[in-house]
């Protein structure tokens, strides 16, 4: 085998892998635009500008805006499902599984999509695609409710109504997308750990003094001095 060819084969992705890298970059740019501006106001031209490419270049990977919204939704839900699966394998109580899944979800969406959560308008998708996404979201929320019930049984979660508890927790997580900035002073790890701990604190029957996350108070003092 030609040694130079072997080196190139190891160093450069094949065409299919390169295409997938570019498709992921498009999804990431679109997710950031959708989260900041809303899916209705974002155009394919806006996404192309973020990437520094022409609109025509996007059509090689995404046929239209609807398909791009669908791809973003699928990606976010896949991240959520993987976070849930990993947390369930790592942790032993219902509360710990929920908290860990939220940490992983925030971290992975920030890494893969560039935003801590993907928030789109309810009517961003239409027809069968909208139904399929709603079904996947319902499955995820049902799994979260099952963890709340598991927490009731193992004593790690207060006896609260599961569906309401899940709505509260996910609402707190999704709102992070409205204020988080990648170039801010808070690292993704700090945001994920703190928000997951605070979002699940209301479910925890143990005293507040046992909260696992400690916040560096120097940051708070600096913020006050800046006012």
> Per-residue pLDDT tens for 63-121?
988 888 888 889 889 999 999 999 999 999 999 999 999 999 999 998 888 887 776 66
CB 66 within 8 A of CB 126: yes
Q: Is 82 in a helix, a strand, or coil?
A: helix
- What does the radius of gyration of the chain's CA atoms come to, in whole angstroms? 20
DSSP state string for 148-207: HHHHHHHTSS-S--HHHHHHHHHHHHHHHHHH--TTSSS-HHHHHHHHHHHHHHTT--S-
Q: Does 224 have pLDDT greater than 80?
A: no
Cα–Cα distance measured from residue 115 to residue 92, given in angstroms and rounded to the nearest whole number: 29
> Per-residue pLDDT tens for 63-79?
988 888 888 889 889 99
Long-range pairs for 159-168 at CB < 8 Å and ≥24 separation?
160/203, 165/203, 166/141, 168/199, 168/202
- Spatial CA neighbour of 201 closest among 90, 107, 98: 98
CB 95 within 8 A of CB 66: no
> Per-residue pLDDT tens for 195-212?
999 999 999 998 765 555
Cα 225 to Cα 124, 178, 218, distances in angstroms: 42, 24, 11
Provide the b/e sequence for 88-100 (b: ≥16 CB within 10 Å). beebebbbbbbbb
Q: Which CATH architecture has domain 66-207?
A: Orthogonal Bundle (1.10)
> Per-residue pLDDT tens for 143-199?
999 999 999 999 999 999 999 999 999 999 988 887 888 888 888 999 999 999 999
Cα–Cα distance measured from residue 125 to residue 56, given in angstroms and rounded to the nearest whole number: 23
On average, the pLDDT of the chain sits at: 84
* Other residues' Cβ atoms within 10 Å of the Cβ of residue 158: 14
| Per-domain residue ranges of the chain | 66-207
156 phi, psi to nearest 5 deg: -85, -10
215 Cβ neighbours under 8 A, 6+ residues apart: 194
Q: Does 125 have pLDDT greater than 80?
A: no
């Amino acid at each position: 085998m030609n040694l130079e060819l072997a080196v190139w084969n190891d160093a450069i992705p094949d065409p299919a892998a390169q295409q997938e890298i570019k498709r992921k970059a498009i999804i990431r740019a679109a997710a950031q635009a959708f989260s900041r501006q809303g899916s209705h106001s974002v155009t394919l031209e806006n996404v192309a500008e973020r990437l520094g490419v022409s609109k025509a270049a996007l059509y090689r990977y995404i046929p239209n805006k609807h398909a791009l919204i669908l791809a973003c939704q699928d990606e976010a839900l896949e991240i959520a499902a993987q976070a849930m699966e990993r947390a369930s394998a790592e942790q032993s109580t219902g509360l710990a599984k929920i908290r860990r899944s939220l940490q992983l979800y925030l971290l992975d969406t920030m890494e893969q999509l560039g935003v801590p959560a993907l928030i789109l308008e309810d009517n961003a998708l239409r027809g069968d695609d909208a139904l399929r996404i709603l079904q996947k979201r319902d499955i995820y929320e049902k799994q979260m409710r099952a963890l709340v019930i598991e927490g009731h049984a193992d004593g790690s979660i207060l006896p609260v109504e599961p569906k309401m508890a899940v709505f509260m927790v996910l609402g707190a997580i999704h709102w992070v997308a409205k204020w988080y900035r990648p170039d801010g002073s808070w690292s993704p790890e700090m945001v994920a750990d703190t928000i997951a701990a605070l979002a699940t604190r209301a479910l925890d029957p143990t005293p507040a003094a046992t909260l696992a996350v400690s916040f560096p108070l120097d940051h708070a003092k600096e913020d006050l001095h800046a006012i």
